[in-house]
Structure 1
Amino acid sequence: MILAESPRRQRVTKLVNWGHWFALANIIIAIVIASIFVFSSPMPGTGVGTLYLFTNWFGHIGFMTFFGFVIFVLPLCYLASNIRVIKASASIIAAVGLALLAFDALLFNRTGFHLSFHAADLLRNEAQTQISTFGWQQWAYLFLLFIVWLGFQLVLANAIWKRIERFTKYKVGIPVTSFFVVCFVSSHAVHVWADAKLYQPIIKQDNMFPLSYPATAKTTMSRYGLLDLAAYEERKQLQFNPDIHNINYPAEPVYCSVDVNESTTVIVQTDDAPIENIERFNLQQLTNYYSTASSLDGLITTTLFGVPEIYQDSLKNKRPVLLALPTGLGMPVSIHFDESLETSRFSSYRQPLSNEHGGLHLAFLPAATIARYLDEEMLRDHNVIIAQGYHTGSGSSKGTLYSNMALNAQVASTEDIAPTILSALGCDAPVHYYSTGQSLLSPSRNWLVSTSGERIVVFHDGKRTDVLSNGSYEITETATNKRSNAPLNVDLLSRAIMHLSRFSKQN
């Protein structure tokens, strides 16, 4: 008696074979899309880090795509009886899944965080302006683009179905599966080692891909005497992102023009006394202004360079774009210091406080001198910003930003002053080339990140998050300065750290 498979079993076997080939094709497409994550992040800079990057890239994306196939498509091959319905459903699932991956990749490229419930609020806030400008033409274009992508998936599904007998002759299942399994397992194994050794070229890749949770085994290793947790925490404090202090400034060459006929004055207060009679000038006030500098030198550095104080030592031999660009285009630039403030670094720009020329003036003065320096004529002829909020030795303090310009921001820091001034002068170069701040005339985000000592400080939604080098954190309410029980917004923190370290040199 000859035993033969039933027609249903033959159909299911053919559908399962088709599903595996369809999944493989989409794994390749997903890996190509995921290259956006790779090219949006700094390269590891070491052989081991680069090897981990590729194994994690192929292993994680391959596993994530195949897992989606097992959950959503494979059951259809056994349960549904209509082949066309199965192919159409699989094509829709693949089109939606890869479209989400592509959107997540573009979001990561632009903002540094992935799609998640934590990121939903940030995404809504920052996309609100752009989406509000969408007309029916833009929405129709996006819908048409998805239809074209869905059509490609349908064509791919049908093409594989027609050639499935030919494809089954190629015995590639074991080699391909082995490759992705080896990549997946080895990447997690290497990460366990890297996490124990605090090997930064690998650790800093933890948030590169969506839904990525690299393996760690500190507790298990300590249980068997393979890792001293106390020594681990001590090393972790010492290895807090060691490259962040070394800066590549500016990150890209800055090319733009400025209006050399504009006159702008920036006044940064160097003490915490009240400025007498400043209310009489009826200046716009931005009360959510923060200064995180811990010294006067740090205050000057963050103001002129537009980057946090943590980069100060690496900037000693560099010229700030805020000074170099206007000077190179023929605009007069001068810096005014109080007589008690000794600094020789910018002596070539130093001018007497009483000089009356136009152009760009930057003044670092105590409250008493500011009160004498301000007058109606200056406010009439100059764009003026007055930054009040530096407290000697405090490391981080809240103050007020006064201006006769139309500042349009919810929160501001000292790092925002340089891009705001350059924007007011007409420079349209991307701010992230030369600053971690943003132009307060047209802000693109409602949060800010800076540093205070070795802490990373993030301000958002009325809360301040301080993250220490050992990974511990504290959230406080900015209005009351009391501890908050709000959960840590991991996506915002990850994005903030990526934004902060964009100037760090990569070895």
Structure 2
Amino acid sequence: MILAESPRRQRVTKLVNWGHWFALANIIIAIVIASIFVFSSPMPGTGVGTIYLLANWFGHIGFMTFFGFVIFILPLCYLVSNSRIIKASASVIAAVGLALLAFDALLFNRTGFHISFHAADLLRSEAQSQITIENWQQWGFLFLLFVVWLGFQLVLANAIYKRVERFTRYKIGVPVTTFFVACFVTSHAVHVWADAKLYQPIIKQDNMFPLSYPATAKTTMSRYGLLDLAAYEERKQLQFNPEFHSTTYPAQPVYCSVDTSENLTVIVQTDDAEIDNLNTKLDLNRFDNYYSTASNLKGLMTTALFGVPEIYQDALSEKRPVLLALPLGSGMPVSVYSDVSLPMSQLSGYVKKDASESDGLNIAFIKGEDIAQYTARALEREHKVIVATGYGSATGKGTLFSNFSLDADIASTEDLAPTILNALGCNAPITFYSTGQNLLSPARPWLVSTSGERIVVIHDNKRTDVLSNGSYEITEISTGKRSNDALNVDLLSQAIKHLSRFSTQN
């Protein structure tokens, strides 16, 4: 008696075989797309780190894609009898899944975080800013691109289905499965060792791929070279990695025109003394959600003039601020005045003993008791004025006074340089020379800075201070009390990537 498979069983067997080949094809495509994650991150720099990178890349992406096949497509092969419906459904699922992977990769390349519930607010702000940039034709092009991508998946599904009997002759199932399982197991085994040894070239890859090992404050910071993990292994107090101080400033050459007929005075307070209400006394606009996080006078001047946090102050000791060099090169008078000794030698060519009557761009670092008088003289000469206070205060919170109409939710000292240059007519990309933003046309509702050895992230009325050993503290700004909210790792990742913009490690 000859036993033969029933027609239904033959159909199911063919669909299951087809599904495995379809999954393999999409695993290869997903691995190619995931290369964006790899090339958006710093290279490990060691042999073991590179082996882990490759094993994690192939193992995790292969597992993630095959898991999607098992969850969404394989059940259809047993439950649905119509092969066309299965192929169409699988094509839609694959097209959407790989499109999401590509979107996540591009988002990671741009911001440093992945699609997640924790990143919903950040994702929403990115989407809103992108929507304002893109017009309907560009959105139509993206939709057309997805239709083409879906069409490719349909063609791929049909081509594999027609040739599935031929493909099954190639006995590659065991070698391919063994390869991906070996990569997956190897990556996890190596990571266990690296985590025990605090091996930085591997630990810093923890947040590279989506739905992978969850990042923490420690691993996020190490990813951008802000941790010396060898010292942590010896249980010493960690310091920021000194290699971080190797910088490229500006990141790219800054070219723009400056209106040399403008007159602008910027005053930065150098103590924590109370000052008069300049908004009522001198009829200036008042902006209260302003923060000055520098821990010393040199850091304050670095932050104000360069538009970057004080962590860069040693690396920039021989460089000239774009804020001063660009207007001066355009023929605008530029002067710097301070009532204390300037700790930055590269400013000697700009310093004036009495700059209160200077036109052009005038930047003054003075004590609170002198601010009202200095500001009044600038207004008498019909200058645009920005006054920044708050240095030395316990919370770092100060106030901005200006006759500009500042349009921002939050501001820091890093924002002064890009705001000034934009007010003078310079339209060069701010990211070339600053980590701040233009307060006349802000782009984000959060800020990141440093205070001594702390990274400071402020967002949604919360201040997160992250120490160099990865520990952190979240404080409610309005009450000053400690918050029990979970750390927003996605925001921290984006903030540190933004902070590290001028580090040569990136």
Is the Cα–Cα contact under 8 Å of residues 232 and 238 in structure 2 kept in the other structure?
Answer: no
In structure 2, what is the equivalent of residue 461 of structure 1?
460
SS of 2:479's partner is coil
1:418 is matched by which residue type in structure 2?
A
In structure 1, what is the equivalent of residue 226 of structure 2?
none
Q: 1:261 to 1:175 in 2, by over 3 A?
A: farther
Kindly state the Cα deviation for residue 381 of structure 1 after the two structures are TM-superposed.
3.3
2:501 is matched by which residue type in structure 1?
R
Task: Tell me the percent identity.
Answer: 75
TM-score by length of 1: 0.90
Is the Cα–Cα contact under 8 Å of residues 407 and 440 in structure 2 kept in the other structure?
Answer: yes
Aligned 1:292-303 pairs, distance under 5 A: 292-303=293-304
Could you tell me how far apart the structure 2 residues matched to 1:445 and 1:236 are? 37
Is the Cα–Cα contact under 8 Å of residues 356 and 378 in structure 2 kept in the other structure?
Answer: no
Moved more, 42-51 or 397-406: 42-51
2:116 is matched by which residue type in structure 1?
S
1:469 is matched by which residue type in structure 2?
S
Could you tell me how far apart the structure 2 residues matched to 1:377 and 1:182 are? 70
Aligned 1:172-187 pairs, distance under 5 A: 172-187=172-187
Q: 1:151 to 1:379 in 2, by over 3 A?
A: farther
Per-residue CA distance 1:299-335 (angstroms, 9 max, x = gap): 1111111111122222212222222222333332211
Could you tell me how far apart the structure 2 residues matched to 1:246 and 1:135 are? 40
SS of 1:116's partner is coil
Moved more, 447-456 or 207-216: 207-216
Is the Cα–Cα contact under 8 Å of residues 129 and 443 in structure 2 kept in the other structure?
Answer: no
Could you tell me how far apart the structure 1 residues matched to 2:240 and 2:315 are? 17
Is the Cα–Cα contact under 8 Å of residues 265 and 363 in structure 2 kept in the other structure?
Answer: yes
Per-residue CA distance 1:105-130 (angstroms, 9 max, x = gap): 22222222111111112222343354
Is the Cα–Cα contact under 8 Å of residues 76 and 86 in structure 1 kept in the other structure?
Answer: yes
Kindly state the Cα deviation for residue 23 of structure 1 after the two structures are TM-superposed.
0.9
Could you tell me how far apart the structure 1 residues matched to 2:331 and 2:410 are? 33
Could you tell me how far apart the structure 1 residues matched to 2:284 and 2:234 are? 49
In structure 2, what is the equivalent of residue 94 of structure 1?
94
Q: 1:354 to 1:331 in 2, by over 3 A?
A: closer
Could you tell me how far apart the structure 2 residues matched to 1:212 and 1:71 are? 18
Aligned 1:125-204 pairs, distance under 5 A: 125-131=125-131, 139-204=139-204
Moved more, 318-327 or 68-77: 318-327
Query: Any stretches of 5+ residues in structure 1 without a counterpart?
Result: 217-230
In structure 2, what is the equivalent of residue 333 of structure 1?
334
Is the Cα–Cα contact under 8 Å of residues 265 and 378 in structure 2 kept in the other structure?
Answer: no
TM-score by length of 2: 0.90
Kindly state the Cα deviation for residue 376 of structure 1 after the two structures are TM-superposed.
6.3
Per-residue CA distance 1:150-188 (angstroms, 9 max, x = gap): 111111111111121222222222232222222222222
Aligned 1:11-410 pairs, distance under 5 A: 11-131=11-131, 139-213=139-213, 235=235, 237-238=237-238, 241=241, 243-276=243-276, 278=278, 279-339=280-340, 344-354=345-355, 356-375=357-376, 378=379, 381-391=382-392, 397-410=396-409
Q: 1:313 to 1:343 in 2, by over 3 A?
A: closer
Is the Cα–Cα contact under 8 Å of residues 236 and 469 in structure 1 kept in the other structure?
Answer: no
Query: Any stretches of 5+ residues in structure 2 without a counterpart?
Result: 217-230
Q: 1:256 to 1:168 in 2, by over 3 A?
A: farther
Q: 1:234 to 1:456 in 2, by over 3 A?
A: farther
Is the Cα–Cα contact under 8 Å of residues 188 and 214 in structure 1 kept in the other structure?
Answer: no
Per-residue CA distance 1:445-491 (angstroms, 9 max, x = gap): 11111112211111000011111223222111111211122222121
CA RMSD of aligned residues (A): 2.5
Could you tell me how far apart the structure 2 residues matched to 1:132 and 1:68 are? 34
Q: Does 1:476 align with 2:475?
A: yes
Could you tell me how far apart the structure 2 residues matched to 1:242 and 1:159 are? 55
Q: 1:95 to 1:398 in 2, by over 3 A?
A: same
Could you tell me how far apart the structure 2 residues matched to 1:245 and 1:265 are? 31
In structure 2, what is the equivalent of residue 500 of structure 1?
499
Could you tell me how far apart the structure 2 residues matched to 1:202 and 1:132 are? 39
Could you tell me how far apart the structure 2 residues matched to 1:457 and 1:215 are? 18
Could you tell me how far apart the structure 1 residues matched to 2:270 and 2:316 are? 21
Is the Cα–Cα contact under 8 Å of residues 269 and 367 in structure 2 kept in the other structure?
Answer: yes
Moved more, 312-321 or 137-146: 137-146
Is the Cα–Cα contact under 8 Å of residues 200 and 241 in structure 1 kept in the other structure?
Answer: no
SS of 2:37's partner is helix
Per-residue CA distance 1:380-433 (angstroms, 9 max, x = gap): 7333211101017x5x51000112222211111111111111222222232222
Kindly state the Cα deviation for residue 66 of structure 1 after the two structures are TM-superposed.
0.9
2:325 is matched by which residue type in structure 1?
A
Kindly state the Cα deviation for residue 33 of structure 1 after the two structures are TM-superposed.
1.7
1:286 is matched by which residue type in structure 2?
F
Kindly state the Cα deviation for residue 242 of structure 1 after the two structures are TM-superposed.
5.3
Could you tell me how far apart the structure 1 residues matched to 2:214 and 2:275 are? 53
In structure 2, what is the equivalent of residue 419 of structure 1?
418
2:473 is matched by which residue type in structure 1?
E
SS of 1:285's partner is strand
Could you tell me how far apart the structure 2 residues matched to 1:459 and 1:51 are? 37
Could you tell me how far apart the structure 1 residues matched to 2:427 and 2:57 are? 36
Could you tell me how far apart the structure 1 residues matched to 2:131 and 2:236 are? 42
In structure 2, what is the equivalent of residue 221 of structure 1?
none
Q: 1:303 to 1:46 in 2, by over 3 A?
A: farther
Is the Cα–Cα contact under 8 Å of residues 34 and 105 in structure 1 kept in the other structure?
Answer: yes
Aligned length: 491
Aligned 1:482-493 pairs, distance under 5 A: 482-493=481-492
Could you tell me how far apart the structure 1 residues matched to 2:133 and 2:365 are? 41
SS of 1:349's partner is coil
Is the Cα–Cα contact under 8 Å of residues 320 and 347 in structure 2 kept in the other structure?
Answer: no
1:413 is matched by which residue type in structure 2?
S
Kindly state the Cα deviation for residue 133 of structure 1 after the two structures are TM-superposed.
7.0
Is the Cα–Cα contact under 8 Å of residues 294 and 453 in structure 1 kept in the other structure?
Answer: yes
